[in-house]
Amino acid sequence: MAKIIPFKAVRPTRAIVGLVAARPYQSYTVEERESRMDYNPYSFLHIVNPGYKYHQDIKGKERYKLVRNRYLEFKEDGVFVQDEKPSLYVYKIVNRLGQEFSGIIAASSAEDYEKNIIKKHEDTIATREKTFKSYLKTVGFNAEPVLLTYPDNETVSSIIKETQKKHAEFEFTMTYRDTHYLWKIDNEEIISQIQNEFKKMNTIYIADGHHRSASSYLLYQDEKKNNPNHNGEESYNFFMTYLIPESDLVIHEFNRLIKDLNGLTKEEFLIQLDSIYRIENRGNIPYIPSKSHHFCMYLDGEFYSLYLRKARYKMNTALDELDAELLYKTILQPILGINDLRHDNRIEYVNGRHEMITIKSSVDNGDFKIGFGMCPATIEQIKSIADEGLTMPPKSTYILPKLRSGITIYEF
């Protein structure tokens, strides 16, 4: 059974929440970050990039301590205020395409992660886990929730809809034209009702935030070991999450761009490819795959459709069925010689929100030799892979919604 608890969120004041909220630090270019910090003293980027005020690039533990200092300054200056009562938070995002995402911000159990009640579908890198654990231990807060998804639940959905009829605590629009809304639930009876529904769920899944989940779990292990009076209710036993129903998730694919043909001529490459795919030249007409195991390929100014010859590929697990794995096992690794999808600099990824024309232009301008497009994974595939204890290749899914930092903060 999944355990969630309310918490006393630290939040920006209503008047400036839109100025505080920021995308994840790594998603900005250096120029974008500096521009935002130059003209917006309230941006959460000032907290996570504390060296900006000293015109220095500060790293490691020294940076973590300064992040903590900047955060405390924001609290001292009244930019952040902590709620008086533990609450759950209904949160809605409406993006510029009109897609809506509604869910609940809560604190989820690190023990649930340990017991595989919270399941993952991606591998994490141990060094990144440990680095972020050290960061969390020093700064003492989560500023961006991990995105979790749960089976659609009528009771929870009804509570969310009723809550959204009330006046929102926040309503603001970002420069990307996403509008954000937040409502607070501090009624103990309603909170208990929501918690009871989650207790009925045997499994919930990480949609986005695998490294943050793993790092929070490592922190929980450390603090538990070092606390002789550990009782399981301390704040370090939990981490901040945004839980949304499976039907609200929007899953895009990541398409692949490759810089060369691994020493093969175009003709040699196509002959090798023919042994496992039916190939059709589509000329200059973009081909958009409409079903699993069909791919688009762009090479030498022409689009191709690729249909898997299923007799040549055995599918024994849920992972074998995944198009990103299929592409890797049949083309990228054996023909194009790409073994390490995470670190090989011959491959790059383009999320599926961009049209195939992006792949075409990247190849046409000479930066890449060949590009591949595919269908997005489904939530059923993601769950099946997680249920079998398997992990997807890097950059298999681009999942919406994408969350902002600094809107709710969980202290531990």
Q: pLDDT tens across 6-61, in order? A: 999 999 999 999 999 999 888 888 888 888 999 999 999 999 999 888 778 888 88
Q: pLDDT tens across 153-195, in order? A: 999 999 999 999 999 999 999 887 899 999 999 999 999 999 9
Average pLDDT over residues 114-139: 94
Has residue 358 got a pLDDT over 90? Answer: no
Query: Is residue 100 a contact partner of residue 94, using CB atoms and an 8 Å limit?
Result: yes
Residues 275, 279, 281: CA angle, nearest 5 degrees: 150
At 26 the pLDDT is: 80
Confidence of residue 115 (pLDDT cuts 50, 70, 90): very high
Which residue ranges make up each domain of the chain?
4-251+400-411, 254-396
Average pLDDT over residues 208-221: 96
Closest CA to 91 of 207, 202, 170: 170
At 60 the pLDDT is: 87
d(CA 124, CA 215): 10
At 56 the pLDDT is: 80
d(CA 260, CA 129): 33
Has residue 312 got a pLDDT over 90? Answer: no
Interstrand relation of 118-119 and 277-283 (parallel, antiparallel or unpaired): unpaired
Mean pLDDT of the chain, nearest integer: 95
At 83 the pLDDT is: 97
**Exposed e or buried b for every residue in 62-94, given b needs 16+ CB within 10 A?**
ebbebbbebbeebeeeebbeebeeebbbbbbbb
Q: pLDDT tens across 223-274, in order? A: 999 999 999 999 999 999 999 999 999 999 999 999 999 999 999 999 999 9
Q: Is the pTM of this model over 0.85?
A: yes
Q: pLDDT tens across 274-310, in order? A: 999 999 999 998 899 999 999 999 999 999 999 999 8
**Can you name the CATH fold of 254-396?**
3.30.1760
Average pLDDT over residues 204-215: 96
Residues 365, 271, 323: CA angle, nearest 5 degrees: 70
Average pLDDT over residues 64-71: 96
Place of tokens 């995402």: 101
Has residue 353 got a pLDDT over 80? Answer: no
At 55 the pLDDT is: 78
Closest CA to 249 of 217, 205, 293, 283: 205
